[in-house]
């Protein structure tokens, strides 16, 4: 049975343009050309079907098709950040460990917060990395530094807003009467500072005494910085460790970046010392103020 009702073409045309098929259009005998153009499939499917092969397009058309969709402002920012990170990683590939640590310290405004916990932890991590380069012979010192780093991190995480300042941490423990007790954060700060001074002294002696073996350089730095603060147990452990340090050339080669020479490494060390020294001076002054600078280990 045929339907005799006439549907205005404007109605059908409007349905086609809007993408919604008129409910009666399916029952009407339409010309084949018009019936084929009905949106019986999703527009995306129809667009995909109408695409020409790439080799049939001109160069301008091909470029237009391959051109990515316009990004939102947020997406553009993310892309820029990723590109900057890629450039930064590529720039750092040939850097020495000292230069990497120097860049990390540059993120902190040391002149505004000379006794912040964050740069102290960053400097301590460089020292841990240095001891890893030397090898297991410095395991005693490494474990001691790692314990103290964890202690400062734990206290910092209890109240990041308050405990970002080493002054506030020490003042609080002094007020509570816990600053001199084993496991206190004040003692952790004291020993981290001493350990960093030991590392800097080691760096400087490597530069000033090129004729000395690494064992001699380490022994001099230890005797100058840490030995006066150690009891006989700690001193005995270090005497054993000193006999097992690697060759001087081995350590220098490990410290240098892939694209560095020894002169560049020495310059990195000098720059690092100039940046970290004000922080160490402030911490030492803080410890002297509360009479914590003379504490010794067993």
Q: Please determine, for residue 170, whether its predicted confidence score (pLDDT) is greater than 90.
A: yes
Q: Lowest-confidence range among 12-16, 214-218, 258-262, 292-296?
A: 12-16
Q: With cut-offs at 50, 70 and 90, classify the pLDDT of residue 16.
A: very low
CATH, domain 96-289, list 1.20.1050.10, 3.40.50.2000, 1.10.3520.10, 3.30.70.940: 1.10.3520.10
Higher pLDDT, 166 or 31: 166
Q: Please determine, for residue 33, whether its predicted confidence score (pLDDT) is greater than 70.
A: no
Q: What are the extents of the domains in the chain? A: 10-38, 96-289
pLDDT of residue 161: 80
> Using the 8-state DSSP alphabet, how is residue 146 labeled?
H
Q: Please determine, for residue 188, whether its predicted confidence score (pLDDT) is greater than 90.
A: yes
Q: Please give the average per-residue pLDDT across 107-122, as a whole number.
A: 73
Higher pLDDT, 127 or 34: 127
- Alpha-carbon distance values, 108 to 93, 99, 116, 119, 125 (Å): 22, 15, 9, 7, 15
| CA nearest neighbour of 257 among 89, 130, 97 | 97
pLDDT of residue 48: 47
Q: Please determine, for residue 10, whether its predicted confidence score (pLDDT) is greater than 80.
A: no
Q: Please give the average per-residue pLDDT across 195-212, as a whole number.
A: 90
Higher pLDDT, 57 or 184: 184
CA atoms in the 13 A half-sphere facing the CB of 293: 13
DSSP string, 244-282: T---HHHHHHHHS-TT--HHHHHHHHHHHHHHHHHHHHH
Q: Please determine, for residue 262, whether its predicted confidence score (pLDDT) is greater than 50.
A: yes
212-252 confidence digits (pLDDT tens) = 998 899 899 999 999 999 988 888 888 888 777 888 888 88
35-60 confidence digits (pLDDT tens) = 444 444 444 444 444 444 444 444 44
Question: Residue ranges of the alpha helices (H) in the chain?
Answer: 9-18, 32-36, 43-50, 59-66, 73-92, 97-106, 117-134, 139-158, 160-163, 166-176, 185-208, 214-225, 232-242, 248-255, 262-289
Q: Which two tokens stand for residue 24?
A: 């009666």
Burial (CB count <10 Å: 0-12, 13-18, 19+), residue 73: exposed
3-state secondary structure of 71: coil
| CA nearest neighbour of 279 among 163, 145, 118 | 118
pLDDT of residue 263: 86
Higher pLDDT, 266 or 16: 266
Q: Lowest-confidence range among 8-17, 101-110, 120-129, 172-181?
A: 8-17
What b/e readout covers 223-244, taking b as 16+ CB neighbours within 10 angstroms?
eebbeebbeeebeeebeebbee
């Amino acid at each position: 049975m045929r339907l005799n009702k006439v549907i205005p073409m404007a109605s059908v045309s409007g349905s086609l343009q809007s993408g919604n098929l008129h409910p009666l259009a399916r029952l009407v005998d339409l010309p084949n050309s018009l019936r084929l153009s009905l949106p019986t499939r999703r527009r995306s499917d129809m667009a995909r079907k109408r695409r020409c092969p790439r080799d049939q397009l001109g160069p301008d058309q091909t470029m237009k098709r391959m051109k990515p969709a316009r990004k939102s402002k947020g997406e553009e920012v993310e892309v820029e950040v990723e590109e900057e990170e890629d450039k930064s990683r590529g720039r750092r590939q040939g850097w020495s460990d000292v230069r990497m640590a120097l860049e990390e310290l540059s993120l902190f405004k040391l002149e505004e917060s000379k006794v912040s916990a964050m740069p102290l932890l960053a400097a301590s991590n460089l020292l841990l990395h240095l001891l890893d380069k030397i090898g297991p012979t410095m395991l005693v010192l490494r474990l001691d530094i790692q314990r103290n780093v964890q202690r400062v991190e734990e206290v910092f995480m209890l109240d990041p807003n308050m405990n970002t300042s080493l002054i506030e941490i020490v003042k609080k423990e002094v007020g509570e009467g816990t600053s001199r007790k084993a496991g206190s954060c004040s003692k952790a700060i004291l020993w981290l500072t001493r350990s960093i001074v030991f590392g800097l002294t080691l760096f400087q002696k490597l530069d000033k005494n090129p004729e000395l073996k690494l064992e001699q350089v380490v022994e001099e730095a230890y005797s100058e910085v840490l030995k006066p603060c150690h009891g006989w147990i700690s001193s005995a452990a270090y005497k054993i460790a000193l006999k097992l340090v690697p060759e001087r050339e081995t350590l220098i080669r490990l410290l240098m970046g892939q694209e560095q020479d020894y002169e560049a490494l020495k310059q990195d060390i000098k720059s690092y010392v100039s940046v970290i020294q004000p922080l160490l001076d402030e911490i030492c002054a803080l410890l002297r103020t509360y009479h914590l600078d003379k504490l010794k280990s067993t």
